[in-house]
Amino acid sequence: MSYLSLYRQWRPQTFEDIVGQDHIVRTLKNAIANGRVVHAYMFSGPRGTGKTSTAKVFAKALNCVEGPTVKPCGKCTSCVAVKEGNALDVIEIDAASNRGIDEIRDLRDKVRFTPAQGRYKVYIIDEVHMLTMEAFNALLKTLEEPPSHAIFVLATTEANRVPATILSRCQRFDFNRLNLAQLTKHLTKVADQMGIEYEKDALNLLARKAEGSARDALGLMEQVSALGEKLTPKLISDMLGATEFERLEGIAAAIASSDITGLFPLVTDTLMSGTDPRQLLGEMGEHFMDLMLAKDCPARKDLLHSGEERFDQLKKAAEAFDRARLQEIVSLIGVGLSEIGKAPNTRLALELFLARLVSAGNASQSLSAAMSETVSASHSAAVSRASAHDVTVKAAEKKEVAKTDRKEAVAQAAPVVEKAAEGPQKADVPPFWGQLLDELRLRSIRVEALVRQSKPSFDGTTLILEYPSNWFFHHQKMQEEPNQNLMKEVLKAVTGNEVAYKCVLLGDGDKDKPEKEKPAEEKEKPSRGAAKKTKQVAKPRTEEGGKAEEVGFDEIEIEDEKVKKSVEMAKALFGEVEIKIVED
Ligand SMILES: [Zn+2]
């Protein structure tokens, strides 16, 4: 007998086997039980989420000798034929194949004939969005007047590319990406029954890697288990380049304690094991989002990228950061993700970026400055190295390069650390400072973060917030009218008096001076930088707004499940998010 992939072996045979699409299963079962089956269904959703499998179980349920039934017997000729893929009355069409149009024409001619064996002819058209306009028109004719024995299940990963005329004839079901818990549970079940040995964390890591697709999850498990070894996080990480939770945890801890010497070996080891620098930065982004979520939104454990069972660990780790710092890191990583792709040497860019991330912990310098300097530094470093080295660096040389990179990274970081000394000091703190921050935090986490990073002083009538001379971003944000008004209100609420407030840049005592050229430049950079990738990153408003189009969350429909999740997460954390849409 020929080899069957795990995915095929574990293809759902009954409604109960279908993983993670309870809402759809329930509706379909109800329709069968109540005799309310319609002629056309649209199954839309990401790949590997069970669209075709569900269509086949549905076909089985309709044509089983004991049916239509929500519990197809699995033994009758019809059930067996559907399972083996040779049922005469279940016709599968792959719209992505060249034969798409011929098959649709064929369908139009033959759909009139009564079913050969069963009650219904079930047409499953996969990737239906790939049909040509001509084929859609032919299909539409059939959908307009379907014979009573015909049922159509149109499956697609891109429902937005299916003409409205077709969509309007279908009952639509949206298949969800599977969450981590569902995927892990599924993998556990399969591994147990197949006698595959595993550590629990290994399956969790596999599930993470599969990004919501049951098919991918089983495919990856099959690939890794082919070695015949026990599945461990290390094995998975080595083979698939996914970063172990412990390692991400270590990286985050090193960043928390500004421990550059601890950070770099961890990063180097991770990259040496085959992880792409951009991927690592993405995984770090997820990890820090998890930390924020664990700190601020314990009610939404389900959104954790690393799984609900990590919640306690994450919550504890998050104590090492204050809220503003986590927000800053996540924002920085967001910018970093879009910038790192432009750097000629992504690894160096990552290392420089991390060095700045660590040092920015004290200096908390403007987001844009951190990343754009990082990229230009990596540009010049790469150019100078390119002249010295051959493009193909031997393994031994590679280590040397890594060392140099590190030195450069530390050198880059040094001046920023010095600046930190000029940062906020507690000496001039007004008596109501703590109360002011508490009150601000209730009204706007963003403004609170801006204010907290200033050096405050109070002369009895005026509160002065001072920022280091290059903190244009903070200074500028605090000049914005809504923020000015908020400050006035909160000051009055806290002190009971009209307290004036001024926001100044160090060495630039007069706040009424016209804004210099620099802030405008600062503002430009991130928007250009953020352009490419912002499709995937929902950014908090704390970051400078770009030139990209701004749309209210409710006004757009997000198709991509991953983006949807990020936006949902960002909304949970920030209350509102700004989405920049940039077409490639
Ligand atoms: Zn049957």
Q: What share of the chain is helix, strand, coil (3-state, %, to 5)?
A: 60, 10, 35
How many whole angstroms from 71 Cα to the centroid of ligand 1? 8
How many whole angstroms from 86 Cα to the centroid of ligand 1? 14
Report DSSP state, residue 74: S
The DSSP-derived string for 27-70 is HHHHHHHTT---SEEEEE-STTSSHHHHHHHHHHHHHSTT-S-S
Let me know: does 451 contact 437? Beta carbons within 8 Å. yes
Let me know: does 183 contact 216? Beta carbons within 8 Å. no
How many whole angstroms from 75 Cα to the centroid of ligand 1? 5
What type of residue is 460? Answer: G
Which SS3 state, helix, strand or coil, does residue 292 take?
helix
Class of domain 180-239: mainly alpha
How many whole angstroms from 77 Cα to the centroid of ligand 1? 7
How many whole angstroms from 12 Cα to the centroid of ligand 1? 15
How many whole angstroms from 550 Cα to the centroid of ligand 1? 54
How many whole angstroms from 70 Cα to the centroid of ligand 1? 11
Which SS3 state, helix, strand or coil, does residue 501 take?
strand
Instruction: Provide the greatest CA pair distance for the chain.
Output: 92
Residue 480: phi, psi to the nearest 5? -65, 145
Let me know: does 411 contact 352? Beta carbons within 8 Å. no
How many whole angstroms from 62 Cα to the centroid of ligand 1? 9
Of the CATH numbers 3.40.190.10, 3.30.70.1520, 3.90.1180.10, 3.40.50.300, which one belongs to the domain with range 6-174? 3.40.50.300
How many whole angstroms from 58 Cα to the centroid of ligand 1? 12
Let me know: does 198 contact 228? Beta carbons within 8 Å. no
How many whole angstroms from 69 Cα to the centroid of ligand 1? 9
What is the spatial distance between Cα 315 and Cα 298, in angstroms, rounded to a whole number?
Answer: 9
Q: Where are the alpha helices (DSSP H) in 177-322?
A: 180-194, 200-210, 214-225, 233-240, 245-256, 260-272, 277-296, 311-318
Half-sphere exposure of 292 (CA within 13 A, CB side): 25
Q: Where are the alpha helices (DSSP H) in 389-425?
A: 395-420
Please report the pLDDT score of residue 41 as a whole number.
Answer: 97
How many whole angstroms from 61 Cα to the centroid of ligand 1? 7
Half-sphere exposure of 365 (CA within 13 A, CB side): 27
Strand partners, 121: 150
How many whole angstroms from 55 Cα to the centroid of ligand 1? 15
Query: Which tokens go with 554?
Result: 């409710």
Please report the pLDDT score of residue 550 as a whole number.
Answer: 43
What is the spatial distance between Cα 29 and Cα 68, in angstroms, rounded to a whole number?
Answer: 10
What is the spatial distance between Cα 456 and Cα 274, in angstroms, rounded to a whole number?
Answer: 47
How many whole angstroms from 388 Cα to the centroid of ligand 1? 72
How many whole angstroms from 261 Cα to the centroid of ligand 1? 65
- Each domain of the chain, given as residue ranges in start order, spans 6-174, 180-239, 268-409, 433-505
Note down pLDDT in tens along the chain; length 584 residues: 456 788 888 899 999 999 999 999 999 999 999 999 999 999 999 988 999 999 999 999 999 999 799 999 999 999 999 999 899 999 999 888 766 678 888 888 888 898 888 799 999 999 999 998 888 998 999 999 899 999 999 999 999 999 999 999 999 999 999 988 899 999 999 999 999 999 988 998 899 888 889 999 999 999 888 888 899 988 888 888 778 888 899 999 999 988 888 898 889 888 887 788 888 999 999 999 999 999 988 888 878 888 777 899 999 999 999 888 898 899 889 888 888 878 888 888 898 888 888 876 655 444 444 445 555 555 555 444 443 333 333 333 333 434 444 444 333 433 333 333 343 434 467 878 888 888 887 777 778 878 887 888 887 788 888 887 777 777 888 888 888 888 888 888 888 778 888 888 876 544 444 444 444 444 444 443 333 333 333 444 444 444 444 444 444 556 666 666 666 766 666 655 556 555 44
How many whole angstroms from 67 Cα to the centroid of ligand 1? 7
Classify domain 433-505 at the CATH topology level: GMP Synthetase; Chain A, domain 3 (3.30.300)
The whole-model pTM stands at 0.56
* Alpha-carbon distances of 341 from 148, 227, 531, 549, rounded to whole Å: 55, 33, 12, 22
How many whole angstroms from 39 Cα to the centroid of ligand 1? 21
Please give the distance of CA 292 from its chain centroid, rounded to a whole number.
15
Please choose, from the candidates 21, 292, 299, 20, the residue with its C-alpha nearest in 3D space to the C-alpha of residue 180: 20
Contacts of 318 (CB under 8 A, 6+ apart): 291, 292, 294, 295, 326
Residue 4: phi, psi to the nearest 5? -110, 130
Let me know: does 6 contact 48? Beta carbons within 8 Å. no
Let me know: does 454 contact 465? Beta carbons within 8 Å. yes
Please choose, from the candidates 182, 110, 193, 112, the residue with its C-alpha nearest in 3D space to the C-alpha of residue 147: 112
Please report the pLDDT score of residue 35 as a whole number.
Answer: 92
How many whole angstroms from 13 Cα to the centroid of ligand 1? 11
How many whole angstroms from 192 Cα to the centroid of ligand 1? 28
How many whole angstroms from 195 Cα to the centroid of ligand 1? 30
Please give the distance of CA 287 from its chain centroid, rounded to a whole number.
11
What type of residue is 238? Answer: D
How many whole angstroms from 152 Cα to the centroid of ligand 1? 20
How many whole angstroms from 145 Cα to the centroid of ligand 1? 29
* Alpha-carbon distances of 122 from 138, 385, 414, rounded to whole Å: 17, 63, 68
Please report the pLDDT score of residue 21 as a whole number.
Answer: 94
Which SS3 state, helix, strand or coil, does residue 482 take?
helix
Let me know: does 374 contact 579? Beta carbons within 8 Å. no
Please choose, from the candidates 361, 266, 338, the residue with its C-alpha nearest in 3D space to the C-alpha of residue 582: 338
Let me know: does 138 contact 7? Beta carbons within 8 Å. no
How many whole angstroms from 118 Cα to the centroid of ligand 1? 10
How many whole angstroms from 64 Cα to the centroid of ligand 1? 4
Cβ-based neighbour number of residue 223 at 10 Å = 14
What type of residue is 114? Answer: T
How many whole angstroms from 56 Cα to the centroid of ligand 1? 12
How many whole angstroms from 108 Cα to the centroid of ligand 1? 28
How many whole angstroms from 218 Cα to the centroid of ligand 1? 27
Element containing residue 579 per DSSP (H, E): strand 579-581
How many whole angstroms from 60 Cα to the centroid of ligand 1? 7
Buried b (16+ CB within 10 A) or exposed e, 60-71: bbbbbeebbbbe
What is the spatial distance between Cα 191 and Cα 363, in angstroms, rounded to a whole number?
Answer: 49
Cβ-based neighbour number of residue 434 at 10 Å = 11
What is the spatial distance between Cα 245 and Cα 252, in angstroms, rounded to a whole number?
Answer: 10
Query: Which tokens go with 392?
Result: 């193909």
Please choose, from the candidates 51, 124, 54, 38, the residue with its C-alpha nearest in 3D space to the C-alpha of residue 87: 124
How many whole angstroms from 543 Cα to the centroid of ligand 1? 59
Location of structure tokens 């500004």: 258
What is the spatial distance between Cα 24 and Cα 262, in angstroms, rounded to a whole number?
Answer: 49
Which SS3 state, helix, strand or coil, does residue 131 take?
coil
